[in-house]
Amino acid sequence: MEKWKEKYKNGERTSAYSLIKELTSIKRKQFPWMGRIGKTSPQYAIHNLEKAYKNFFGKRANYPKFKKKGIKDSFVAVENKQSFKQKDKRIWIPRLGLVKCAENLRFDGKVNNVVVKRIADIWFACINIETNDTPNISKSQTILGVDLGIKYLAVISDGAYFKNPKALERNLRLLKRRQQSLCRKKKGSNNRGKAQMKIARLYYKISCIRRNSLHEVSRYIVNNANKIVLEDLNVKGMIKNKKLSRSLNDVSFGELRRQIQYKANWEGKEVIVADRFFPSSKTCCICGAIKENLKLSTRIYKCDCGNNICRDLNSAINLANYGITQKSWESKASGVGSSFDFQSSLTMKEEMFLFKNKET
């Protein structure tokens, strides 16, 4: 990074390939320890640096920072299919040889690279694979509306309810106790390191609970619908409510929407994002009457037409009705939705291998 900044100040044009060439010429004399690691690790680090500067100058990210040891540790171990070896629950890592892993690779295709990373002192190998899978053409014409919430993570218009696991809330008391224990440890001591690892393990457990529930919900929705209608929620505005901010962040509406969108594209199905000001909760799904004054605490929707229904289910049914006359999400304004690359998602899959697992 310092070399890149130096060349930039001197007005020299540089690139990742020029720095890699320069590093190769001097590493034997100035950095002899680099002979003990694979060549792909420093090369990909320079490529990542180049990408970080491009994102900075393109105003897509902040100025690049040095990577700190112990935080998001990762390196590229294998860069192509020729040097990739994995069988019998073992994976080949340069300079380490065959390392035990938890499972075998489930997908066939071209291996682009293998990234080894550490999460809470558990090592994973993330294998990026390019497959030749083609989207399945769904014969079902079912339209499902999805209402998102806090008590129920998702309520589907077909009557399915998915409870919110509340991963953070259920572990918040234990998390506070472990953080208090960390504060009592002397900085730099081994006991402080052990306390930090306990907190990291707990955070990882919370993320796994949340991610598992999101995958269950998104898979059910994609499997049972040909057209999916989602809400366009203003999450940034919603989390400004101090009473709901923690619960909203714990639910992860944005991640659920992203998963539904990329899985629907894998299956060749349509995703519609309803207009942000569409009154799905205030509208009666039977007669179409709109209640202007509907409080958030009102969980049962009662209409003068005799309709007595759960508020969330009423909203989901209205979203499904909204999707009957609307075009697919992909044909709407480009400013709506996630920045996920849908075209590449049709051919790219990622597999994670567990290297080492310790009891928390």
Residue type, 155: V
Q: Of 280, 276, 291, 295, whose CA–CA distance to 237 is shortest?
A: 276
Residues 223 and 264: beta-carbon distance below 8 Å: no
Q: Of 43, 127, 130, whose CA–CA distance to 84 is shortest?
A: 127
Q: Is 304 a catalytic residue?
A: no
* Tokens coding 226: 């040909």
Q: How far apart are CA 10 and CA 23, in angstroms?
A: 19
Out of 147, 250, 270, 351, pick the active-site residue: 147
How many residues in total does the chain contain? Answer: 360
* Tokens coding 345: 């998602």
φ/ψ of residue 352, rounded to 5: -115, 130
Out of 79, 250, 270, 312, pick the active-site residue: 312
Q: Is 147 a catalytic residue?
A: yes
Residues 88 and 99: beta-carbon distance below 8 Å: no
Residues 155 and 326: beta-carbon distance below 8 Å: no
Q: Is 158 a catalytic residue?
A: no
Q: How far apart are CA 252 and CA 232, in angstroms?
A: 14
CA dihedral defined by 47, 50, 56, 61, rounded to 10 degrees?
A: 10
Cβ count within 10 A of residue 197: 14
Out of 231, 250, 270, 351, pick the active-site residue: 231
Residue numbers annotated as active site: 147, 231, 312
